[in-house]
Amino acid sequence: MRKFNIYAAVAYLSTIAFTAAAADFGSSVSADSRFQSQDKSLSEVGIPKTPVLKKTQTKATRDEVCGYYNFDSYRLTRAVQGWERTYCMPVVAPGEGDDDLILYGFWADFDYDGTPISAVEAKFDYEKQQVIIPAGASLGTYGEYSAYIYVSDWNTDRMLDEPIILNYDAENKGMTYYCEPQPSGDRPVSCLIVTSYPDAVGKVIDQGVDFIAAIEMYKYNGTMTLTDVTHSSDGQSLLYIDTAEDSFTVRNFGNRGFRTSIKFNVNYTAGTCTAQPTLCHKDFKFDDGNVMDLHYAGGDGGPITGTLEKRTDSDMYDVHIPSWTLYNVKEGKAKVEFRDSYLSVPLKGNSSVDSAMTDDTDAPVEYYTLQGIRIADPEKGSLVIRRQGQDVRLFIRR
């Protein structure tokens, strides 16, 4: 399994970025195993449905789209299992033009040394809030294999002259693609295909590495450790945290999804933070067939309370939540119990990597490798960290 330690790789960013406990997160499928050509054959498939999201008037700029993402894709490659999930952790960085983006690690993650296995150039349409990847864009070359991505007509296997469009949701800080299902619901009208055939627009291609029905990419800027008492397991959750003067809001709390948020109010004098019971899952269906609403709550269905402690050398606060649950109000019972959850929050001045930077146009430019080692002059084509004053971003030397 290929792994990419995001916090080790961009250690130098911690001077201004949202920092959290270091953790290894890996791609679930190695690059080598991805490149095993698979026929498009399905006996039965359940296509992920486009979620219903509340409408928002908020629009993100190109630079606000940039950042660290987790990437889930659902692929139509196994006749028995229907569709299956793959996972990686791309980095979205600005390109040369005002509307240019580069998606590093898109679809195929990063190698052991932090080098992106795949990189794809895209455009950002501010008015439509869309990330647009051209038809047949190269995803990179791995050993003897090259990969290209297309929109494919499901019935004819013809590669369409259509861009891959990821819709950006500024409210939830994520970008998504969902294929349109046919009326029968068991086949898509079209899907994304990753294949080794270049310049294939208009051609019939019925074999590929991935037939992708859905993509969900959501931004993160921190981590959370958690212990699931009910299922006797430990884990980590990638978070996106927004902060205010006396509160912070967390997305993907407890790994329950980036479209759900929970707000904690802060009492600096008491050194505590408190969240009121918050709906987490509407009509959640358990394996036994029971359907119920689940709330983030304390063990008795009341508020969740944690402690916070300020670090001596920064504005970061370490937050400890001793206990919380997924609670069914109708039953008056906790369905899943958690203990000892930890996260770090930048209160008193947001130091998130996504925050607006001060104007440092006169400051000297410095370059660092993804491992945080300073270098004088990056090699052409290399991906590095560029720092000018407080402006720190990923940069590719042209």
Pairing of strands 272-275, 304-310: antiparallel
- How far apart (Å, rounded) are the C-alpha atoms in residues 149 and 133? 9
4 found inside a domain: no
Question: Which residues are registered as beta bridge partners of 50?
Answer: none
Structure tokens at 75: 């692929």
- Which residue, among 265, 337, 343, has the nearest Cα to 297 in the 3D structure? 337
In a domain, 383, yes or no: yes
In a domain, 22, yes or no: no
Report how far Cα 250 is from the mean position of its chain's Cα atoms: 14
What is the pTM (predicted TM-score) of this model? 0.75
How far, in Å, CA of 222 to CA of 343, rounded? Answer: 8
77 and 182 fall within a common domain: yes
Q: Within a domain: residue 337?
A: yes
238 and 165 in a common domain: no
Show the domain range for 379.
Answer: 365-396
First vs last Cα of the chain: how many Å apart? 31
Shared-domain flag, residues 169 and 228: no
Does 79 map to a domain?
Answer: yes
Per residue of the chain (398 residues), give pLDDT as tens: 222 222 222 322 222 233 322 222 223 333 334 344 455 544 444 556 666 666 666 899 999 999 999 888 888 754 444 557 778 889 999 998 999 999 988 888 767 666 777 889 999 999 999 999 999 999 887 667 889 999 999 989 999 999 999 999 999 999 999 998 888 777 789 999 999 999 999 999 988 888 898 999 999 998 899 899 998 888 888 999 999 989 999 999 999 999 899 999 999 999 999 999 999 988 887 767 788 899 999 999 999 999 999 988 778 899 999 999 999 988 899 999 999 999 999 886 433 334 333 345 666 787 766 545 667 888 776 767 666 654 556 666 66
Positive or negative: CA dihedral 266, 270, 271, 273: negative
* Residues 130 and 214 grouped into a single domain: yes
- Give the residue carrying structure tokens 């007509």: 153
How many beta carbons lie within 10 A of that of residue 374, not counting itself? 12
Q: Looking at the structure, tell me whether residues 108 and 74 fall in a common domain.
A: yes
Residues 6+ apart with CB under 8 A from 355: 16
Contact 187, 43 (CB under 8 A): no
Q: Looking at the structure, do residues 128 and 256 belong to the same domain, yes or no? A: no
Distance separating alpha carbons of residues 183 and 388, to the nearest angstrom: 53
In-domain check, residue 356? no
338 in any annotated domain: yes
- The Cα–Cα gap between 6 and 110 comes to 10
Q: Are residues 160 and 212 in the same domain?
A: yes
Domains held by the chain: number:
3
How far apart are alpha carbons 30 and 32 in whole angstroms?
A: 5
Task: Provide CB contacts within 8 A for 386, sequence distance 6+.
Answer: 365, 366, 367, 392, 393, 394, 395
Nearest by Cα to 180 from 162, 205, 196: 162
Q: Give a yes or no: residue 228 inside a domain.
A: yes
**Domain edge (last residue) among 167, 190, 219:** 219
- Enter the tokens of residue 93: 């960085």
Concatenating the DSSP letter of every residue in 54-74 gives --------HHHH-EEEEEEEE
Residues 39 and 179 in one domain: yes
Examine the domain organization and report whether 172 and 249 are in the same domain.
no
Boundary residue ending a domain (150, 184, 219): 219
Q: Could you identify the residue written with the tokens 């300073």?
A: 374
Asked if residue 171 and residue 235 are part of one domain, the reply reads no
Tell which of 187, 219, 251 closes a domain.
219
Residues 66 and 193 in one domain: yes
The residue among 90, 88, 352 whose CA lies nearest residue 241 is 352
214 & 234 share domain? no
User: To 5 degrees, how large is the angle CA 119–CA 34–CA 393?
Assistant: 20
Q: For residues 290 and 281, is the Cβ–Cβ distance under 8 A?
A: no
